[in-house]
């Protein structure tokens, strides 16, 4: 006899989300959030494990229909170092921090799915609910994996979602392969010889060399990379000088590189190093480069993506699932999980009038809460009630 699912209502989902939004916590500091997530999961009757990567939480639910595949559903919990400009009742109470990317909504949707599935676990196999810290820049997914996520909780596939401003609420996007770009960052320090600004011949002009690099480095993309393989190289910070009549001795640049193709990523890094070395040789400078390979590209498993698209069509309706959207040059550390086993990362529309992600006026659209919850529950049914995952 099949059990009837007890769905959390909109008010309950919204209450969770607003509570998380009022109390944002950044990378690896999600102590209150983690404790609240664990408390709720335990109240649903799930087996709960805490402390993975410090603040990560994993809850385990075994189906009532016996053995079968094991899957993971992942939500991120961390906030950003952004000062919120919204005036809503649930605005951040923590100065300089806010949920400007919707992780409060992601967490609440997965909690809702966990409660619903726990009320009627009519499937064969195991579901792991993964609540991950530190998605923003700090690689919390990698940290959870290094601390044994997939060894302690073996999974045959893993899935995640992100809200997407610009897409209407009630729509979604599913990519068959690449969905988010790889992400590298660099710190470059150029050291020359400072001098009086009226006598530049007595120095070694690191400022001029830095300016040349800022204008020349994008050519490594525009003129050296294959046009059908998207890539971006951006210098995002330029620090130099303190006054009017001194040529600075030290210049500091920060920036990022994004692409989808891993051999291309290695070529860009090498040519980047070549350009710096050539410029420094020309101007007689010394360079110190800290180039950090950060997140890999997020690549969906095509067969699993088809299942996700079919489920979303059932939840949202015909014509509501986009399959043609261009991958984003933004990055996502779910990529580390998708490298370990087949994975799919989908976008759920946050509204055409939504502020962009990481904007101080952004807010997760509460209308998505029941949609995301139902997607997770229907996905579990599609994957585990048949007893066999896509090949």
**Active site residue ranges:** 78, 135
- Among all chains, which residue has been given the structure tokens 């997914």? 141
CA 321 – CA 311 distance, rounded (Å):
10
Beta-carbon-side half-sphere exposure of residue 64 (alpha carbons within 13 Å) = 9
Question: In Å, how far are 90, 190, 254 from 213, measured between CA atoms?
Answer: 45, 11, 12
Contact 364, 350 (CB under 8 A): yes
The CA-based angle 154-160-164, given to 5 degrees, is: 170
CA 256 – CA 247 distance, rounded (Å):
27
Q: How many CB atoms lie within 10 A of CB 370?
A: 18
CA 49 – CA 62 distance, rounded (Å):
14
Question: In Å, how far are 117, 122, 222, 264, 387 from 383, measured between CA atoms?
Answer: 13, 12, 43, 35, 7
Q: Measuring CA to CA, which residue among 174, 27, 97 is closest to residue 358?
A: 97
Contact 57, 38 (CB under 8 A): yes
β-strand 70-76 against 47-52: which pairing, if any? unpaired
* DSSP one-letter code for 330: S
Q: Measuring CA to CA, which residue among 239, 246, 152 is closest to residue 196?
A: 246
The CA-based angle 352-358-364, given to 5 degrees, is: 50
CA 114 – CA 241 distance, rounded (Å):
55
Tokens found for residue 279: 């410029």
Q: Measuring CA to CA, which residue among 73, 69, 79 is closest to residue 59?
A: 73
């Amino acid at each position: 006899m099949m059990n009837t699912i007890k769905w959390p209502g909109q008010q309950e989902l919204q209450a969770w989300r607003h509570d998380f939004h009022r109390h944002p916590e950044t990378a690896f500091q999600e102590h209150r959030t983690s404790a609240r997530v664990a408390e709720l999961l335990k109240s649903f009757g799930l087996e709960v494990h805490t402390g993975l990567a410090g603040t990560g939480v994993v809850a385990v639910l075994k189906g009532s229909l016996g053995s079968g595949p094991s899957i993971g559903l992942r939500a991120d919990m961390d906030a950003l170092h952004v000062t919120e400009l919204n005036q809503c009742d649930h605005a951040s109470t923590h100065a300089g921090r806010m949920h400007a990317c919707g992780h409060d909504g992601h967490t609440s949707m997965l909690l809702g799915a966990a409660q619903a599935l726990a009320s009627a676990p009519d499937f064969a196999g195991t579901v792991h609910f993964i609540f991950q810290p530190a998605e923003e820049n700090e690689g919390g997914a990698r940290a959870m994996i290094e601390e044994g996520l997939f060894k302690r909780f073996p999974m045959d596939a893993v899935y995640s979602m992100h809200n997407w401003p610009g897409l209407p609420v009630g729509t979604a996007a599913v990519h068959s392969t690449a969905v988010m770009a790889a992400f590298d960052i660099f710190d470059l320090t150029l050291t020359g010889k400072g001098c009086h600004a009226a006598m530049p011949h007595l120095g070694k002009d690191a400022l001029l060399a830095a300016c040349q690099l800022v204008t020349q480095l994008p050519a490594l993309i525009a003129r050296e990379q294959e046009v059908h393989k998207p890539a971006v190289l951006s210098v995002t910070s330029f620090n130099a000088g303190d006054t009017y009549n001194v040529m600075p001795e030290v210049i500091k640049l920060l920036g990022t590189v994004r692409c989808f193709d891993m051999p291309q990523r290695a070529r860009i890094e090498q040519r980047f190093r070549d350009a710096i070395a050539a410029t420094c040789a020309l101007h007689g400078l010394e360079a110190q480069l800290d180039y950090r390979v950060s997140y890999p590209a997020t690549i969906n498993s095509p067969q699993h993506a088809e299942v996700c698209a079919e489920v979303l069509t059932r939840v949202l309706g015909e014509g509501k699932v986009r399959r043609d959207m261009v991958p984003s040059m933004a990055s996502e550390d779910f990529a580390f999980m998708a490298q370990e086993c087949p994975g799919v990362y989908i976008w759920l529309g946050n509204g055409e009038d939504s502020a962009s992600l990481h904007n101080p006026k952004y807010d997760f659209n509460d209308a998505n809460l029941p949609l995301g919850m139902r997607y997770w529950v229907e996905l579990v049914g599609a994957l585990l009630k048949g007893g066999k995952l896509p090949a």
